[in-house]
């Protein structure tokens, strides 16, 4: 005997739930931001204006003239070079209605603060990117431009490192230059199998051989010629590169004091620790007499940067295409 059809099915129940809402938001697709750590930072004290003057000295030349006995001669002068960091103000906020705060299925205020924190860090990263690119456009010594059809290789990275050393630019405090490259450029770099290229360097070193199989972890690509390289897609792109239909990307390699940044007070502006303020409004105001705006997340910071004062570029911008683009 066959079972009869069920007399109650979901389509016949008016209160049957049609969808379940997961209460945890999935990760937002965000850039990895690595330009802020490329700066040397100086804190602007409160109540000191928004312009900070920095300086260094021009190195003294060698003295090849022997002294004349009994003749003190003339003293030598020092040449100071100055530059000014001008801090600009950046402000954004997200406000939340009382209905959202009281009835939403997740903590929308916390989620909004996290999204705003990324926007702020991305803004800082982009301000740095544009300032460096503008400086490079007028500073020939900072530019390494590769022709259409050529890509980022270990040799190009060595070029950047040794040209910085040739200008007496020092490494960062960890003894390495600091590099940021696009993920598509990183493909060509780690796929470089030429003699002395990435694969050649890795496979013959016991400590590195396994990393060829592991791939890139945590967006740190590795070290080549004393340049520690990180992957970020928030680098400058250049359409129709070298009159072609291709896009080039601007990789950057920094030495110490290439660019000096400043913010007002102890504001944290990096991606991992960007400062966002969350405010809860529990009393009515003239502007909101019924307290319909229950909370807000905001940032308000002052930030600026400038290249080293002596005019010697302490960085290199490498513009080249990727074989994947």
Q: How far apart, in whole angstroms, are the C-alpha atoms of residue 143 and residue 130? A: 15
- Whether residue 48 is contained in a domain is answered as yes
Q: What pLDDT score was predicted for residue 207?
A: 57
Q: Go through 10-39 and write b for each residue having 16 or more CB atoms within 10 A of its CB, e for each that does not.
A: eeeeeeeeeeeeeeeeeeeeebbbbbbebb
Q: How far apart, in whole angstroms, are the C-alpha atoms of residue 99 and residue 294? A: 8
- Whether residue 61 is contained in a domain is answered as no
More confident of the two residues 315 and 190: 315
Residue 214 has pLDDT above 70, yes or no: no
What is the 3-class SS of 195-255, one letter each residue? CCCHHHHHHCCHHHHCHHHHCCECCEEEEECCEEEEECCCCCEECCHHHCCCCEEEEEEEC
- Whether residue 69 is contained in a domain is answered as no
Q: How far apart, in whole angstroms, are the C-alpha atoms of residue 244 and residue 319? A: 14
Residues whose CB falls within 8 Å of the CB of residue 233, separated by 6 or more in sequence, listed in order: 31, 32, 182, 183
Residue 201 has pLDDT above 90, yes or no: no
The count of other CB atoms within 10 Å of the CB of residue 45 is 9
| Structural tokens at position 11 | 């389509």
Residues whose CB falls within 8 Å of the CB of residue 79, separated by 6 or more in sequence, listed in order: 57, 58
| HSE-CB of 128 using CA atoms within 13 angstroms | 30
Look at residues 28, 111, 26, 32 and name the one whose alpha carbon lies nearest to residue 271.
32
Q: What pLDDT score was predicted for residue 311?
A: 94
- Domain tally, the chain: 1
Q: How far apart, in whole angstroms, are the C-alpha atoms of residue 155 and residue 162? A: 10
Q: pLDDT of 40-52, one tens digit each?
A: 999 999 889 999 9
- Whether residue 301 is contained in a domain is answered as yes
- Name the helix (H) or strand (E) containing 188: helix 183-190
The model's confidence at residue 216, banded by pLDDT at 50, 70 and 90, is low
The model's confidence at residue 267, banded by pLDDT at 50, 70 and 90, is confident
33 contacts 129 by C-beta, under 8 angstroms = no
Q: pLDDT of 85-110, one tens digit each?
A: 999 999 999 999 999 999 999 999 99
In degrees, rounded to 5, the angle at the alpha carbon of residue 120 between the alpha carbons of residues 118 and 126 is 100
Task: Provide the mean pLDDT of the chain.
Answer: 90
pTM over 0.75: yes
Instruction: Report helix, strand or coil for 3.
Output: coil
- For the segment 59-73, the average pLDDT, to the nearest whole number, is 92
CA 208 to chain centre: 26
Residue 316 has pLDDT above 80, yes or no: yes
Q: Which range of residues forms the domain containing residue 307?
A: 36-55+82-319
Range in 3-12, 124-133, 249-258 with the lowest mean pLDDT:
3-12
| Structural tokens at position 220 | 């740190």
Instruction: Provide Rg for the chain, Cα atoms.
Output: 28
- Whether residue 27 is contained in a domain is answered as no
Parallel, antiparallel or unpaired: strands 259-264 and 40-44 = parallel
- Whether residue 187 is contained in a domain is answered as yes
- For the segment 28-57, the average pLDDT, to the nearest whole number, is 93
Residue 213 has pLDDT above 80, yes or no: no
| Structural tokens at position 199 | 């694969």
In degrees, rounded to 5, the angle at the alpha carbon of residue 33 between the alpha carbons of residues 213 and 150 is 60
Q: What pLDDT score was predicted for residue 29?
A: 85
More confident of the two residues 136 and 274: 136
Residue 71 has pLDDT above 70, yes or no: yes
Sequential DSSP letters for 22-36: -SSPPPP------SG
Q: How far apart, in whole angstroms, are the C-alpha atoms of residue 227 and residue 318? A: 13
- Whether residue 122 is contained in a domain is answered as yes
- Whether residue 8 is contained in a domain is answered as no
Q: What pLDDT score was predicted for residue 211?
A: 53
């Amino acid at each position: 005997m066959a079972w009869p059809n069920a007399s109650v099915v979901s389509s016949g129940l008016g209160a049957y739930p049609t969808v379940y809402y997961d209460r945890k938001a999935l990760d937002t697709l965000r850039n990895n931001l690595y330009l802020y750590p490329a700066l040397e930072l100086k804190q602007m004290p409160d109540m000191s204006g928004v312009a900070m003057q920095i300086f260094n000295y021009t190195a003294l030349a060698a003295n090849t003239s022997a002294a004349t006995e009994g003749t003190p001669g003339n003293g030598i002068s020092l040449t100071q070079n100055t530059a000014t960091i001008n801090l600009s103000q950046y402000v954004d906020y997200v406000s939340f209605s009382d209905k959202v705060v009281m009835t939403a299925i997740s903590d929308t205020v916390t989620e909004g603060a996290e999204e705003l924190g990324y926007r702020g860090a991305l803004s800082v990263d982009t301000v740095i990117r544009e300032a460096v690119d503008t400086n490079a456009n007028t500073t020939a010594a900072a530019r390494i431009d590769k022709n259409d059809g050529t890509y980022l290789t270990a040799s190009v990275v060595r070029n950047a490192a040794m040209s910085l050393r040739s200008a007496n630019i020092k490494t960062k405090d960890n003894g390495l230059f600091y590099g940021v490259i696009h993920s598509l450029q990183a493909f060509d770099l780690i796929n470089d199998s030429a003699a002395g290229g990435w694969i050649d360097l890795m496979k013959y070193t016991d400590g590195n051989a396994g990393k060829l199989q592991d791939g890139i972890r945590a967006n740190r690509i590795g070290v080549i010629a004393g340049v520690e390289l990180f992957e970020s897609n928030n680098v400058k792109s250049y359409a129709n590169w070298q009159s072609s239909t291709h896009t080039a990307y601007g990789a950057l390699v920094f030495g110490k004091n290439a660019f000096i940044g400043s913010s007002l007070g102890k504001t944290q502006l990096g991606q991992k620790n960007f400062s966002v303020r969350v405010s809860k409004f529990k009393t009515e105001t003239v502007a909101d007499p019924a307290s319909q705006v229950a909370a807000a997340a905001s940032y308000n910071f002052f930030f600026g940067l400038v290249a080293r004062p002596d005019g010697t570029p302490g960085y290199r911008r490498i513009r080249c295409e990727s074989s994947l683009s």
